[in-house]
Amino acid sequence: MEVLCFGVEPPGLGPPHRAVGLIFSMLLGVWSAQALEMSVGKIPFLEAVNGSTVMLPCTYSSCIGIKNLYFNWQFNDNGTMQKVCESTIASEEVEPNVNVLRERVEFVGKNHHNNISILLWNITFEDGGQYTCFGRNPKEKDKNHSAIFTLIVVDELRVVDNTLTIMIASAVGGAIALLMGFMLLKNFTLFVISKLEEKNKECLVTSSGIDNTENGLSGSKADSKPTPKKK
């Protein structure tokens, strides 16, 4: 029996074996790209106050679409998984008939934009824990996937101390204001210097004209005396 190891060519395996391995790898890549994926968002946890109402988000995606997608929500009750709700979605954009198995739970996803989120009303400390959003797609040969969302129930939300943030913001603001003041002072100084230089140039030109007049040079306004005639 021959064993194919992708990435390393065993002795004696020719081009046909490499071609088969390449095709198999491509098929695996296509299959993984089509795989069902469940998502609870970029932040998979929520801290909420006792007695409030919260939403547990979940969406699904599949490159080849769905057909009779089965999904459910489960709650991890001290190691025992308890179903919260379940249903089957015939196809995209079809609103499922959801079977809710837990009190104070409402299905709000409606399957719009592949949304299968649920709402928990009047939560208690017993509702805190891990919730799993599970899906199985028969169109992908029952490919399944799940995502976990953690709910943390507290007496009251913690007050965030913004003192350090305010200090940093004040320091940055002060530095920016100082820099702007320095730039304005610099521009004003350069403006005054340029005006003084222009005035000095005008004074030099005027002074040069006066000197030429006093010295009786050509072009000056000094009266020229006629040459005396010989007797």
> What are 129's two structure tokens?
């824990």
- Say whether 137 sits in a helix, a strand or coil: strand
What architecture (CATH level 2) is domain 31-154?
Sandwich (2.60)
Q: pLDDT grade, residue 178 (50/70/90)?
A: confident
With a cut of 50, say whether residue 38 has pLDDT above it.
yes
**pLDDT band of 203, cuts 50, 70, 90:** low
How far is C-alpha 142 from the geometric centre of its chain's CA atoms? 34
Taking residue 48's Cβ as centre, other Cβ atoms within 10 Å add up to 18
State percent of the chain over pLDDT 90.
Answer: 51
pLDDT at 212 over 70: no
Altogether, the residues listed in the chain come to a count of 231
Q: Does residue 19 surpass a pLDDT of 60? A: no
CB 212 within 8 A of CB 220: yes
Q: How confident is the model at residue 165 (pLDDT cuts 50, 70, 90)?
A: confident
pLDDT of residue 209: 59
Backbone angles phi, psi at 174, to 5 degrees: -65, -40
Distance CA 190, CA 187 (A): 5
Q: Model confidence over 92-111: pLDDT tens digits?
A: 989 999 999 999 999 999 99
**Per-domain residue ranges of the chain:** 31-154
The first and second tokens of residue 11, run together, are 């002795």
Sign of CA dihedral 87, 89, 90, 94: positive
Q: Which residues of 195-219 are buried (b: 16+ CB within 10 A; e: fewer)?
A: eeeeeeeeeeeeeeeeeeeeeeeee
Q: What is the mean pLDDT of the chain?
A: 81
DSSP string, 157-225: PPPP--HHHHHHHHHHHHHHHHHHHHHHHHHHHHHHHHHHHHHHHHHHHHHHHHHHHHTT-TT--PPPP
pLDDT computed for residue 191 by the predictor: 84
| Cα Rg of the chain, angstroms | 42
> CA-CA distance, 95 to 116, in Å (whole number)?
10
Confidence of residue 32 (pLDDT cuts 50, 70, 90): very low
> How high is the pLDDT of residue 1?
39
Per the model's pLDDT, the better-predicted residue between 204 and 4 turns out to be 204
Out of 93-97, 124-128, 220-224, pick the least confident.
220-224
The 10 Å Cβ neighbour count of residue 105 is 19
Q: Which of 69, 77, 153 is nearest to 115 (CA)?
A: 69
pLDDT value of residue 31: 42
